[in-house]
Amino acid sequence: MKILMVEDNREVSEMMSMFFSKEKWDVEYAYDGEEAVNKFKSDPESWDMITLDLNLPKKDGMQVNAEIRKISSTVPIIILTARNSESDQTLGLEMGADDYVAKPFSPMILIARIKALHRRALLQGIQTEETTGKEYDIETKHLMLSTSTRKVLIDGTEIEELTPKEFELLKALASKPRQVYSRDQLLQMVWGYEFYGDERTVDAHIKKLRQKIETVGPQIIKTVWGVGYKFDDTEVEK
């Protein structure tokens, strides 16, 4: 795995380098936002994972995240943040990051998150190859979804610029319409981990996914209060 760690605190980078070395991962470091964007731009397809601090000189983490997402919608991004504000963490997820780890953090927690996210990315790639040839894997009253092309249509209109996690969330929910999933179940299904999850991760992605769905059609992801979420388009009209 090749990782870009964007972190202006060199002590944190040096600490993590020992753990990365133990995993035999190829890691490069960027110490400010401009350097991070330039390193990623130089060879976007080579990176398997990005860990991104929010408090950076020259360009902050939010700017870096936005610029990277313009280039790649699929590279996994984990935000590292010393900010305790829930709004900062949620905003990062809404802007297309896949996960976040709050500072100060245990190196083993970060390693576990990276492994889980990487496993999920690999599994998604395999599933995409296996379904090549099928035009749409899921078809419901209002939705058509293709794993091979990652194309989503609502009433014939395409939802554009879905992030990988938004796509996987929609696919997981739509695979079994009207079945209610808890946030913990969705963390396990989409992020691939169970014990390190944060429900805000799911809520932030659901919020952004709903906003994108509503630009083209009816709201088909329902909140089941006190439980979680479900996909149900049986009673909505065009």
121-161 residue pLDDT tens: 666 655 555 544 557 778 888 888 888 778 888 888 888 87
**Nearest alpha-carbon partner for 173 in 200, 165, 122:** 165
Taking a C-beta distance cutoff of 8 angstroms, is the pair 113, 131 a contact?
A: no
**Nearest alpha-carbon partner for 131 in 146, 145, 118, 144:** 146
Q: Report the alpha-carbon distance of residue 144 to residue 151 in Å, rounded.
A: 8
- The DSSP bridge partners found for residue 6 are 30, 52
Question: For residue 195, what pLDDT is reported?
Answer: 45
**Cα–chain center distance at 55:** 20
162 pLDDT more than 90: no
Which residue's entry shows tokens 């794993």? 147
Helices (H), 24-106: 33-42, 61-71, 86-94
Q: Which residues contact 125 (CB under 8 A, 6 or more apart)?
A: none
Residue 234: φ, ψ to 5°: -75, -25
Q: Report the alpha-carbon distance of residue 141 to residue 234 in Å, rounded.
A: 7
Q: Report the alpha-carbon distance of residue 11 to residue 18 in Å, rounded.
A: 11
- Of 53 and 92, which is predicted with more confidence? 53
**Cα–chain center distance at 206:** 11
Query: How do residues 41-74 score in pLDDT, each as one tens digit?
Result: 998 888 999 999 988 999 988 899 989 988 887 8
pLDDT-derived band at 91 (thresholds 50, 70, 90) equals low
Give the pairing type, strands 99-102 and 157-158: unpaired
Percentage of residues of the chain with pLDDT beyond 90: 24
Question: For residue 222, what pLDDT is reported?
Answer: 92
Q: Is 25 strand, coil or helix?
A: coil
Q: Report the alpha-carbon distance of residue 6 to residue 12 in Å, rounded.
A: 10
175 pLDDT more than 70: yes
Question: For residue 197, what pLDDT is reported?
Answer: 55
Instruction: Tell me whether the omega of the peptide bond preceding residue 44 falls within 30 degrees of 0, making it cis.
Output: no
One-letter identity of residue 138? I
